[in-house]
Amino acid sequence: MAGGPDWVPLEVDTGRANVARVYDYWLGGNHNFLPDQDLGRAIAAVEPNTRAMARANREFLGRAVRFLAGAGIRQFLDIGSGIPTQGNVHEVAQHAAPGAHVVYADIDPVAVAHSKAILAGNDSTVVIEADLRDPEKILTDQSVRQLIDFGQPAGLLLVSVLHFIADADDPWRIVATLRDALAPGSYLVLCHGTDEGKPTVAQAAAKVYNRSVTTDLHIRSRAEILRFFEGFDLADPGLVPIPQWRPDKAAGMPADPGKFWGGLVGVGQKP
Ligand SMILES: C[S@@+](CC[C@H](N)C(=O)[O-])C[C@H]1O[C@@H](n2cnc3c(N)ncnc32)[C@H](O)[C@@H]1O
């Protein structure tokens, strides 16, 4: 946008809300504009726990990456990685396992541009602009191949991105394509929006969301989300609400776990 901040790529329409920037707004980041903030506030008005859920999602991502690093994973493919914020995957992974390789992929040019800026000089990490709906393209991308050895176990992170893929684009086929490219011992880390427990609020929030963004939100049932783990063995404690997945000993479970109903998370390993 002419006259916009210099981190905004020219082709980006900042006059329209965008999923990556709305999420950045909920997390308290600075890479969002008025339409993103308006939509973020409108959804938070429908479900006041939205910001807490976004933060819980981000904390789950950190716990899952530490879990994978502890299990010996040294390469991570994070698709739908978002605008960098606190606790980025490469920071968590490379803290737990120095030298770990991380590939970020996102469809959003702002997420990609900002990731490039913070990754400059980090040879173990790269970001590509990519669409999850074309997994073959991601798998054959040169810079992905340079950092990810598909003959070795890897961590595939699909955290809060699959609910932006419509049934018509067959997200289950997409995950199966990625799974088939992974070596045995690899992991899938997933968070997905659900209407389990609060269908009326979930439908109302999705309606507000889908009125304003170009990428529609598709919340799914537990059974539909479980299907993404076909060909993976689900690690304990299974597919659970966000804070219930292996809570950090220090932080523990929130006092009011019921408010985190909007997402189900799980980690599976390819046998
Ligand atoms: C809610 S954010 C999640 C960010 C990060 N994974 C996390 O959990 O903190 C969703 C991200 O998915 C990206 N996204 C949406 N549709 C996508 C697609 N088809 N391909 C790649 N990324 C996509 C958005 O641009 C956004 O950055």
Whether ligand 1 lies within 6 angstroms of the CB of 132 is answered as: yes
The pLDDT of residue 247: 93
Report the C-alpha gap between 128 and 144 in whole angstroms.
8
Whether ligand 1 lies within 6 angstroms of the CB of 106 is answered as: yes
Question: Ligand 1, residues 161, 216, 218: which to mutate, most atoms within 8 A of Cβ?
Answer: 161
Report the C-alpha gap between 24 and 39 in whole angstroms.
12
Please give the model's pTM, rounded to 2 decimal places: 0.95
Report the C-alpha gap between 29 and 19 in whole angstroms.
13
Pick the residue whose CA is nearest to atom 27 on ligand 1.
82
Residues in contact with 44: Cβ distance below 8 Å, sequence separation at least 6, in sequence order: 26, 50, 51
Pick the residue whose CA is nearest to atom 13 on ligand 1.
80
Question: Ligand 1, residues 164, 178, 265: which to mutate, most atoms within 8 A of Cβ?
Answer: 164
The pLDDT of residue 28: 94
Q: Compute, in angstroms, the gap from residue 184 CA to the centroid of ligand 1.
A: 26
Whether ligand 1 lies within 6 angstroms of the CB of 57 is answered as: yes
Per-residue pLDDT of the chain (271 residues; tens, 9 = 90+): 444 677 788 888 888 899 999 999 999 998 899 999 999 999 999 999 999 999 999 999 999 999 999 999 999 999 999 998 888 999 999 999 999 999 999 999 989 998 998 898 999 999 999 999 999 999 999 999 999 999 999 999 999 999 999 999 999 999 999 999 999 999 999 999 999 888 999 999 999 888 888 789 999 999 999 999 999 999 999 999 999 999 988 777 777 877 888 999 999 999 9
CA angle 170, 208, 266 (to 5 degrees): 45
Pick the residue whose CA is nearest to atom 9 on ligand 1.
58
Whether ligand 1 lies within 6 angstroms of the CB of 50 is answered as: no
Whether ligand 1 lies within 6 angstroms of the CB of 20 is answered as: yes
Distance, C-alpha 198 to centroid of its chain: 22
The pLDDT of residue 2: 44
